[in-house]
Amino acid sequence: MRLLHTMLRVGDLERSLAFYSEVLGMRLLRRKDYPAGRFTLAFVGYGDESDTAVLELTHNWDTTAYDIGTGYGHIALGVDDIAATCDAISGKGGRVVRPPGPMKHGSTVIAFVEDPDGYKVELIQLSTRPDAAA
């Protein structure tokens, strides 16, 4: 068994694809419209679906916004240089909502950015992680 993907419902697919590809550097792996169901699925990620987990962006054609809810946490990305990554994200129009710094009650350096729909994406400084269970 392995993790295949995480699905997010997005209000504007083109805006979300621009964020995940141009701001976070993922690539569009596949996209398919389902006219009978009035939705589109787009899969983005850093590697092939055959060996890495990816994000499924689901766009329901008649819905432009969603309530995120209290159960959603965040997506996490490991980065080599968190300060430079945050600067690059800001430079591309991304929104850094928590600047880099140690996590509360710990030493792992993290930051948070927000996608166009308000989903949080955690950035984790890989070189300073004391362990994988942070």
122 is known as an active-site residue = yes
- Cβ-in-10-Å burial (0-12, 13-18, 19+) of 65 comes to exposed
The whole-model pTM stands at 0.84
Q: Which of 22, 56, 114, 122 is catalytic?
A: 122
Longest CA–CA span in the chain (Å) reads 50
Average pLDDT value for the chain: 93
pLDDT in tens, 65-118: 999 888 889 999 999 999 999 999 999 999 999 999 999 888 899 999 999 999
